[in-house]
Amino acid sequence: MCRVLFAAFAAAVLWPGAVLAKGEGIGLWMEGQVSEVRAEGQDIRLVVTGRFRFEQHRGQEAAVVEVRDWRTGGAASIPALLTQGRPFYAMTEDWRGGASRKSGALLEILRAAAITGKVVKLELADSRLSFGHGGTLSVEHAIVRRATDHALR
């Protein structure tokens, strides 16, 4: 009887099955064209013209809220003060691959994107946001964990 229970337990543990739980958490993202990129010590000040996304995950369900220009519904102008995270990952355009990057890489990525006008997606952590009059949003400070690097192939 003991062998049967052990075999049943081992089969249950080893049996392939779907993992349904994604977990719980909040994701903060900015996506758009960047301009006015400048270094301020270890920080980077810039303006993102695009959208800001809040994502809340609970199990398999995700609730997403996008901040855009409330007057037009189009791209919002979002001033931000960012710091490159440790670790920091440069991601391919489709976000299916990436590479760890050294200190200073985020500034290089953002300057290149400002010159080319290509859209950059940024994953933020430890963010401090400011909601102003007239429906404006600014990122007072955030750490960037991942960013699109159009030069990465």
Interval 21-41: pLDDT, tens: 456 788 899 999 999 999 999
Look at residue 135 in the predicted model and tell me its pLDDT: 77
CA–CA separation, 59 and 23 (whole Å): 5
CA–CA separation, 41 and 54 (whole Å): 28
Residue 53 within any structural domain of the chain: yes
Residue 16 within any structural domain of the chain: no
Residue 118 within any structural domain of the chain: yes
Residue 10 within any structural domain of the chain: no
Look at residue 132 in the predicted model and tell me its pLDDT: 87
Output the pTM of the full model.
Answer: 0.78
List the domain range (segments joined by +) for residue 115.
21-148
Residue 108 within any structural domain of the chain: yes
| Domains identified in the chain, total number | 1
Residue 3 within any structural domain of the chain: no
CA–CA separation, 78 and 85 (whole Å): 20
Residue 76 within any structural domain of the chain: yes
Residue 48 within any structural domain of the chain: yes
Mean pLDDT is lowest, of 12-21, 72-81, 82-91, for 12-21
pLDDT in tens, 108-133: 999 999 999 999 999 999 999 999 88
CA–CA separation, 12 and 93 (whole Å): 40
